[in-house]
A and B are shown apart, each in its own frame.
Chain A
């Protein structure tokens, strides 16, 4: 299972749709994508993980790295995740307190903080 990455603008936000498996082998691609987006001035990012099949700590580390990166530009990084198996790893690692996590993209877009 490969990693797929697609991004688009939704108003002032950038939605990065991630699909497939995020592990130590594929996570560098996600890291590069986040670095590239922030480098291009995308500071309000929503990572849509609805189509993620697998995520481990390497992927979590990359998301935390992305969050630090956008925060250094006063930006934000929110997640869309409705899969219990993935939410569970955010809970175990305490990262539910670090990321705003939404059930749907609509909900994430409606949250203007």
Chain B
């Protein structure tokens, strides 16, 4: 199934909408409610950071969330910003996760089954969640 893309203005009032849309899609994909709670927090963290990064560098373009089920019974979400500031890619920590002592990135790493931070036009966070928590344990995902 192709991904759906949601573009939201860099304003924190849209973080709630981003959570709602992504979790609705995951529910439709059959994700268990326990996993949806994990997904909801991780999406909130990554979206918040992307929006704050845009605000910090004065980037007015929207941030992008692409999401959808994968063939491996996972739900994938990529949240990308266009805030090109100076931090090194490996410091995705460093760049904008600092405000709350890095708690946001700690949560993303703790909740998603697979996480990858990439530096492209800005920073993009790729996350995958097993649709079924039980399947994740059986298959050893995460």
Q: How many A-B residue pairs have CB under 8 A?
A: 58
29 A-B pairs with C-beta separation under 8 A: A1-B16, A21-B16, A23-B12, A23-B44, A23-B48, A24-B15, A24-B51, A24-B52, A25-B12, A25-B16, A54-B19, A54-B41, A56-B41, A56-B45, A56-B104, A57-B48, A57-B107, A58-B48, A58-B100, A60-B100, A61-B99, A64-B100, A88-B37, A89-B107, A92-B106, A92-B107, A93-B106, A93-B107, A93-B110
Is B24 an interface position by the 8 A CB rule?
no
Q: Are B106 and A24 in contact (CB under 8 A)?
A: no
Chain B residues with CB below 8 A from A85, complex form: 34, 37
Q: Are A57 and B100 in contact (CB under 8 A)?
A: yes
A24 to B14, CA, bound (A): 10
Q: Residues on A close to B: CB < 8 A?
A: 1, 21, 23-25, 54, 56-58, 60-61, 64, 85, 88-89, 92-93
Chain B residues with CB below 8 A from A61, complex form: 99-101, 103
